[in-house]
Structure 1
Amino acid sequence: MFKHFGRILKHLCYGPWRLRRVLPRHALKAITEEIRESETKHGGEIRVAVEISLDWWRLLRRETPRERALEVFSDLRVWDTERNNGVLIYLLLADRDVEIVADRGIDRLVGAEAWERICHEMEAAFRKGDFEAGIVAGVQAVGSHLEKHFAGPDLHGDELANHPVIIDG
Protein backbone atom coordinates (compact mmCIF):
# COMPACT_ATOMS: atom_id res chain seq x y z
CA MET A 1 0.00 0.00 0.00
CA PHE A 2 2.72 2.51 0.98
CA LYS A 3 4.77 1.60 -2.08
CA HIS A 4 1.80 2.31 -4.32
CA PHE A 5 1.13 5.62 -2.55
CA GLY A 6 4.81 6.55 -2.95
CA ARG A 7 4.63 5.84 -6.69
CA ILE A 8 1.54 8.03 -7.06
CA LEU A 9 3.22 10.87 -5.18
CA LYS A 10 6.38 10.59 -7.27
CA HIS A 11 4.43 10.73 -10.53
CA LEU A 12 2.36 13.70 -9.39
CA CYS A 13 5.55 15.62 -8.53
CA TYR A 14 7.26 14.97 -11.89
CA GLY A 15 6.82 17.81 -14.32
CA PRO A 16 8.16 18.97 -17.68
CA TRP A 17 11.06 20.74 -15.92
CA ARG A 18 12.38 17.27 -14.99
CA LEU A 19 12.53 16.28 -18.65
CA ARG A 20 14.46 19.41 -19.62
CA ARG A 21 16.95 18.65 -16.86
CA VAL A 22 17.68 15.04 -17.88
CA LEU A 23 17.12 15.36 -21.64
CA PRO A 24 17.83 18.91 -22.83
CA ARG A 25 17.36 19.87 -26.49
CA HIS A 26 20.90 18.85 -27.48
CA ALA A 27 20.30 15.36 -26.03
CA LEU A 28 17.05 14.97 -27.98
CA LYS A 29 18.89 16.05 -31.15
CA ALA A 30 21.65 13.50 -30.48
CA ILE A 31 19.07 10.74 -30.03
CA THR A 32 17.30 11.75 -33.25
CA GLU A 33 20.61 11.69 -35.12
CA GLU A 34 21.51 8.27 -33.67
CA ILE A 35 18.19 6.83 -34.85
CA ARG A 36 18.64 8.37 -38.31
CA GLU A 37 22.20 7.03 -38.56
CA SER A 38 21.17 3.58 -37.36
CA GLU A 39 18.36 3.34 -39.89
CA THR A 40 20.79 3.90 -42.78
CA LYS A 41 22.30 0.48 -41.95
CA HIS A 42 19.16 -1.65 -41.74
CA GLY A 43 15.59 -1.96 -42.92
CA GLY A 44 14.02 -1.62 -39.47
CA GLU A 45 12.36 1.28 -37.69
CA ILE A 46 13.22 2.56 -34.22
CA ARG A 47 11.01 4.89 -32.17
CA VAL A 48 11.87 6.37 -28.81
CA ALA A 49 9.09 7.59 -26.53
CA VAL A 50 9.73 9.34 -23.23
CA GLU A 51 6.79 9.72 -20.87
CA ILE A 52 7.38 12.07 -17.96
CA SER A 53 4.78 10.55 -15.65
CA LEU A 54 1.50 8.71 -15.75
CA ASP A 55 -1.89 10.34 -15.26
CA TRP A 56 -3.50 9.83 -11.89
CA TRP A 57 -6.14 7.45 -13.28
CA ARG A 58 -3.46 5.19 -14.77
CA LEU A 59 -1.74 5.19 -11.39
CA LEU A 60 -4.97 4.33 -9.56
CA ARG A 61 -5.41 1.39 -11.95
CA ARG A 62 -1.80 0.40 -11.12
CA GLU A 63 -0.87 0.42 -14.78
CA THR A 64 2.61 -1.00 -15.26
CA PRO A 65 5.26 0.52 -17.51
CA ARG A 66 4.95 -2.55 -19.76
CA GLU A 67 1.21 -2.07 -20.18
CA ARG A 68 1.73 1.59 -21.01
CA ALA A 69 4.53 0.77 -23.46
CA LEU A 70 2.24 -1.62 -25.34
CA GLU A 71 -0.37 1.13 -25.60
CA VAL A 72 2.20 3.67 -26.85
CA PHE A 73 3.50 1.08 -29.35
CA SER A 74 -0.01 0.91 -30.78
CA ASP A 75 -0.71 4.65 -30.60
CA LEU A 76 2.52 5.49 -32.47
CA ARG A 77 1.77 2.74 -35.01
CA VAL A 78 5.20 1.18 -34.56
CA TRP A 79 3.54 -2.12 -35.51
CA ASP A 80 2.55 -0.69 -38.89
CA THR A 81 5.81 -1.13 -40.82
CA GLU A 82 6.00 -2.99 -44.11
CA ARG A 83 8.25 -5.78 -42.73
CA ASN A 84 6.84 -5.85 -39.17
CA ASN A 85 10.21 -4.80 -37.80
CA GLY A 86 9.44 -1.67 -35.79
CA VAL A 87 10.89 -1.36 -32.29
CA LEU A 88 9.76 1.03 -29.56
CA ILE A 89 12.10 2.07 -26.76
CA TYR A 90 9.81 3.45 -24.06
CA LEU A 91 11.12 5.34 -21.03
CA LEU A 92 8.81 6.15 -18.13
CA LEU A 93 10.86 8.89 -16.53
CA ALA A 94 9.14 8.99 -13.11
CA ASP A 95 9.82 5.26 -12.64
CA ARG A 96 13.14 5.32 -14.53
CA ASP A 97 11.86 2.22 -16.25
CA VAL A 98 12.61 1.19 -19.82
CA GLU A 99 10.50 -1.16 -21.90
CA ILE A 100 11.24 -2.37 -25.40
CA VAL A 101 8.32 -3.48 -27.53
CA ALA A 102 9.20 -5.07 -30.85
CA ASP A 103 6.93 -6.03 -33.71
CA ARG A 104 6.63 -9.71 -34.55
CA GLY A 105 8.99 -9.62 -37.53
CA ILE A 106 12.01 -8.73 -35.38
CA ASP A 107 10.82 -9.99 -32.00
CA ARG A 108 10.73 -13.61 -33.06
CA LEU A 109 14.34 -13.31 -34.27
CA VAL A 110 15.73 -11.53 -31.18
CA GLY A 111 13.56 -12.61 -28.25
CA ALA A 112 12.57 -11.16 -24.89
CA GLU A 113 15.85 -11.95 -23.12
CA ALA A 114 17.92 -9.80 -25.49
CA TRP A 115 15.46 -6.90 -25.25
CA GLU A 116 15.48 -7.16 -21.46
CA ARG A 117 19.29 -7.07 -21.41
CA ILE A 118 19.24 -3.80 -23.38
CA CYS A 119 16.67 -2.34 -20.95
CA HIS A 120 18.85 -3.23 -17.94
CA GLU A 121 21.91 -1.62 -19.53
CA MET A 122 19.94 1.56 -20.23
CA GLU A 123 18.55 1.63 -16.69
CA ALA A 124 22.10 1.30 -15.31
CA ALA A 125 23.09 4.45 -17.22
CA PHE A 126 19.99 6.23 -15.90
CA ARG A 127 20.92 5.36 -12.31
CA LYS A 128 24.21 7.17 -12.96
CA GLY A 129 22.22 10.17 -14.24
CA ASP A 130 23.30 9.71 -17.86
CA PHE A 131 20.02 9.59 -19.75
CA GLU A 132 21.36 10.69 -23.13
CA ALA A 133 24.11 8.05 -23.17
CA GLY A 134 21.68 5.39 -21.94
CA ILE A 135 19.16 6.06 -24.71
CA VAL A 136 21.85 6.37 -27.40
CA ALA A 137 23.35 3.04 -26.28
CA GLY A 138 19.88 1.49 -26.37
CA VAL A 139 19.29 2.75 -29.91
CA GLN A 140 22.68 1.35 -30.95
CA ALA A 141 21.95 -2.05 -29.37
CA VAL A 142 18.50 -2.27 -30.98
CA GLY A 143 20.05 -1.13 -34.27
CA SER A 144 22.65 -3.90 -34.13
CA HIS A 145 19.88 -6.51 -33.88
CA LEU A 146 18.01 -4.89 -36.78
CA GLU A 147 21.21 -4.73 -38.82
CA LYS A 148 21.87 -8.42 -38.18
CA HIS A 149 18.40 -9.51 -39.31
CA PHE A 150 17.40 -6.75 -41.75
CA ALA A 151 20.73 -5.61 -43.22
CA GLY A 152 20.87 -2.82 -45.76
CA PRO A 153 18.79 0.31 -46.16
CA ASP A 154 15.01 0.05 -46.13
CA LEU A 155 13.55 -0.05 -49.62
CA HIS A 156 10.31 1.38 -48.23
CA GLY A 157 12.00 4.56 -46.97
CA ASP A 158 11.84 5.98 -43.49
CA GLU A 159 8.41 4.79 -42.37
CA LEU A 160 8.41 6.35 -38.88
CA ALA A 161 9.71 9.67 -37.60
CA ASN A 162 13.15 9.60 -35.99
CA HIS A 163 12.70 12.22 -33.27
CA PRO A 164 11.84 11.08 -29.74
CA VAL A 165 8.19 11.44 -28.80
CA ILE A 166 7.66 13.27 -25.52
CA ILE A 167 4.50 12.32 -23.63
CA ASP A 168 3.64 14.75 -20.88
CA GLY A 169 1.32 12.93 -18.44
Structure 2
Amino acid sequence: MDLMRIFRHLLMTRWRVRKAFSVRVLSTIDSAIRESHRSHAGQVRFVVEGALDSSDLFDGLTARERAIDVFSQLRVWDTEDNNGILIYLLLADRDVEIVADRGINARVSGDEWEAVCRMMEAEFRRGKYQPGAIRGIEQVSALLKTHFPTRTPPREDLPSFPVVM
Protein backbone atom coordinates (compact mmCIF):
# COMPACT_ATOMS: atom_id res chain seq x y z
CA MET A 1 0.00 0.00 0.00
CA ASP A 2 1.44 3.36 -1.06
CA LEU A 3 1.15 5.66 1.97
CA MET A 4 2.10 8.78 -0.01
CA ARG A 5 -0.73 8.09 -2.46
CA ILE A 6 -3.18 7.66 0.41
CA PHE A 7 -2.09 10.98 1.94
CA ARG A 8 -2.38 12.80 -1.40
CA HIS A 9 -5.92 11.54 -1.84
CA LEU A 10 -6.97 12.27 1.73
CA LEU A 11 -5.56 15.80 1.53
CA MET A 12 -7.19 16.60 -1.82
CA THR A 13 -10.05 18.91 -0.93
CA ARG A 14 -12.84 20.29 -3.07
CA TRP A 15 -11.27 23.73 -2.56
CA ARG A 16 -7.96 22.55 -4.09
CA VAL A 17 -9.79 21.10 -7.08
CA ARG A 18 -11.72 24.36 -7.60
CA LYS A 19 -8.53 26.39 -7.24
CA ALA A 20 -6.89 24.40 -10.04
CA PHE A 21 -10.05 24.19 -12.16
CA SER A 22 -12.06 27.32 -11.48
CA VAL A 23 -15.28 28.13 -13.31
CA ARG A 24 -13.24 30.35 -15.64
CA VAL A 25 -10.80 27.51 -16.44
CA LEU A 26 -13.66 25.06 -16.98
CA SER A 27 -15.36 27.55 -19.30
CA THR A 28 -12.13 27.92 -21.29
CA ILE A 29 -11.86 24.13 -21.57
CA ASP A 30 -15.47 23.98 -22.75
CA SER A 31 -14.72 26.58 -25.43
CA ALA A 32 -11.64 24.64 -26.55
CA ILE A 33 -13.66 21.43 -26.85
CA ARG A 34 -16.42 23.19 -28.80
CA GLU A 35 -13.84 24.72 -31.12
CA SER A 36 -12.10 21.37 -31.57
CA HIS A 37 -15.37 19.73 -32.62
CA ARG A 38 -15.39 22.00 -35.67
CA SER A 39 -12.26 20.29 -37.02
CA HIS A 40 -13.11 16.61 -36.48
CA ALA A 41 -16.00 14.22 -35.97
CA GLY A 42 -14.81 12.94 -32.57
CA GLN A 43 -16.71 13.61 -29.34
CA VAL A 44 -14.40 14.80 -26.53
CA ARG A 45 -15.27 14.79 -22.81
CA PHE A 46 -12.95 16.21 -20.13
CA VAL A 47 -13.27 15.02 -16.53
CA VAL A 48 -11.39 16.10 -13.41
CA GLU A 49 -11.66 14.01 -10.27
CA GLY A 50 -9.94 15.32 -7.18
CA ALA A 51 -9.38 12.01 -5.38
CA LEU A 52 -10.69 8.49 -5.19
CA ASP A 53 -13.11 7.62 -2.44
CA SER A 54 -11.54 5.68 0.41
CA SER A 55 -12.85 2.25 -0.58
CA ASP A 56 -11.46 2.57 -4.13
CA LEU A 57 -8.23 4.00 -2.77
CA PHE A 58 -7.66 1.17 -0.29
CA ASP A 59 -8.64 -1.40 -2.92
CA GLY A 60 -5.78 -0.04 -5.06
CA LEU A 61 -7.93 1.20 -7.94
CA THR A 62 -5.72 2.74 -10.61
CA ALA A 63 -6.42 5.94 -12.49
CA ARG A 64 -6.81 3.88 -15.67
CA GLU A 65 -9.42 1.62 -14.06
CA ARG A 66 -11.29 4.65 -12.73
CA ALA A 67 -11.15 6.36 -16.14
CA ILE A 68 -12.77 3.30 -17.72
CA ASP A 69 -15.49 3.41 -15.04
CA VAL A 70 -16.11 7.11 -15.72
CA PHE A 71 -16.13 6.48 -19.49
CA SER A 72 -18.98 4.04 -18.88
CA GLN A 73 -20.83 6.15 -16.28
CA LEU A 74 -20.87 9.20 -18.53
CA ARG A 75 -21.82 7.04 -21.52
CA VAL A 76 -18.95 8.41 -23.61
CA TRP A 77 -19.29 5.22 -25.66
CA ASP A 78 -22.85 6.19 -26.58
CA THR A 79 -22.12 7.97 -29.87
CA GLU A 80 -23.46 7.08 -33.28
CA ASP A 81 -19.99 6.62 -34.82
CA ASN A 82 -18.25 5.04 -31.78
CA ASN A 83 -16.04 8.13 -31.68
CA GLY A 84 -16.18 9.21 -28.02
CA ILE A 85 -13.02 10.22 -26.18
CA LEU A 86 -12.58 10.74 -22.46
CA ILE A 87 -9.69 12.83 -21.15
CA TYR A 88 -9.62 11.95 -17.44
CA LEU A 89 -7.48 13.63 -14.77
CA LEU A 90 -7.12 12.13 -11.31
CA LEU A 91 -5.78 15.27 -9.67
CA ALA A 92 -4.43 13.72 -6.46
CA ASP A 93 -2.15 11.50 -8.59
CA ARG A 94 -1.74 14.08 -11.39
CA ASP A 95 -2.43 11.13 -13.65
CA VAL A 96 -4.09 11.68 -17.04
CA GLU A 97 -5.76 8.84 -18.87
CA ILE A 98 -7.37 8.90 -22.29
CA VAL A 99 -10.05 6.34 -23.01
CA ALA A 100 -11.28 6.12 -26.58
CA ASP A 101 -14.23 4.29 -28.04
CA ARG A 102 -13.59 1.36 -30.37
CA GLY A 103 -14.05 3.39 -33.57
CA ILE A 104 -11.15 5.62 -32.60
CA ASN A 105 -8.97 2.98 -30.95
CA ALA A 106 -8.89 1.14 -34.26
CA ARG A 107 -7.11 4.14 -35.82
CA VAL A 108 -5.09 5.88 -33.10
CA SER A 109 -2.33 3.98 -31.30
CA GLY A 110 -1.90 3.75 -27.56
CA ASP A 111 1.51 5.40 -27.91
CA GLU A 112 -0.09 8.47 -29.48
CA TRP A 113 -2.56 8.78 -26.59
CA GLU A 114 0.22 8.17 -24.07
CA ALA A 115 2.30 11.05 -25.50
CA VAL A 116 -0.64 13.42 -24.97
CA CYS A 117 -1.12 12.15 -21.41
CA ARG A 118 2.57 12.61 -20.51
CA MET A 119 2.59 16.17 -21.86
CA MET A 120 -0.50 17.07 -19.84
CA GLU A 121 0.88 15.46 -16.68
CA ALA A 122 4.10 17.47 -17.03
CA GLU A 123 2.09 20.71 -17.31
CA PHE A 124 -0.10 19.78 -14.33
CA ARG A 125 2.95 18.98 -12.18
CA ARG A 126 4.08 22.58 -12.83
CA GLY A 127 0.66 23.86 -11.76
CA LYS A 128 -0.25 24.90 -15.32
CA TYR A 129 -3.73 23.42 -15.37
CA GLN A 130 -5.43 25.54 -18.00
CA PRO A 131 -2.53 25.52 -20.49
CA GLY A 132 -2.02 21.78 -19.97
CA ALA A 133 -5.68 21.01 -20.54
CA ILE A 134 -5.89 23.22 -23.62
CA ARG A 135 -2.70 21.76 -25.16
CA GLY A 136 -4.03 18.27 -24.47
CA ILE A 137 -7.33 19.04 -26.18
CA GLU A 138 -5.43 20.52 -29.13
CA GLN A 139 -3.24 17.42 -29.46
CA VAL A 140 -6.23 15.07 -29.19
CA SER A 141 -7.99 17.21 -31.79
CA ALA A 142 -5.04 16.97 -34.16
CA LEU A 143 -5.14 13.17 -33.94
CA LEU A 144 -8.91 13.14 -34.45
CA LYS A 145 -8.70 15.55 -37.37
CA THR A 146 -6.39 13.09 -39.12
CA HIS A 147 -8.55 10.03 -38.51
CA PHE A 148 -12.05 11.51 -38.13
CA PRO A 149 -12.31 14.59 -40.34
CA THR A 150 -15.24 16.90 -39.76
CA ARG A 151 -18.55 16.44 -41.43
CA THR A 152 -21.28 18.92 -42.15
CA PRO A 153 -23.20 19.68 -40.11
CA PRO A 154 -21.12 18.77 -37.05
CA ARG A 155 -22.86 16.29 -34.76
CA GLU A 156 -22.82 16.77 -30.99
CA ASP A 157 -23.71 13.47 -29.32
CA LEU A 158 -22.09 14.41 -26.00
CA PRO A 159 -22.00 17.61 -23.93
CA SER A 160 -18.77 19.57 -24.15
CA PHE A 161 -18.68 21.15 -20.67
CA PRO A 162 -16.04 19.54 -18.42
CA VAL A 163 -17.15 17.45 -15.46
CA VAL A 164 -15.68 17.86 -11.98
CA MET A 165 -16.27 14.80 -9.83
Structure 1 residues 82, 155: closer, same or farther in 2, change over 3 A?
farther
Structure 1 residues 70, 154: closer, same or farther in 2, change over 3 A?
farther
Q: Which runs of 4+ in 1 moved over 3 A?
A: 153-156
2:107 partner SS: helix
Determine the structure 1 residue equivalent to 2:17.
19
Contact kept? 1:82, 1:156, Cα under 8 Å: no
Determine the structure 2 residue equivalent to 1:32.
30
Q: 1:106 aligns with which of 104, 107, 114?
A: 104
Q: Which blocks of at least 5 consecutive residues in structure 2 are unaligned?
A: none
Q: Which blocks of at least 5 consecutive residues in structure 1 are unaligned?
A: none
| Aligned: 1:84 with 2:82 | yes
Alignment-mate amino acid for residue 13 of structure 2: G
Count matched residues. Answer: 165
Distance apart, 1:156 and its partner CA: 6.7
Contact kept? 2:30, 2:162, Cα under 8 Å: yes
Map 1:1-169 to 2 at 5 A: 1=1, 4-153=2-151, 155=153, 157-167=155-165
1:109 partner SS: coil
TM, length-normalised to structure 1: 0.94
TM, length-normalised to structure 2: 0.96
Distance apart, 1:6 and its partner CA: 2.0
1:116 partner SS: helix
Alignment-mate amino acid for residue 146 of structure 2: K
Give CA deviations for 1:76-110 in whole Å, capped at 9, x if unaligned. 11111111111100000000000000011111111
Contact kept? 2:38, 2:154, Cα under 8 Å: no
| RMSD (CA atoms) | 1.2
Aligned equivalents of 2:19, 2:152: Cα separation in 1: 35
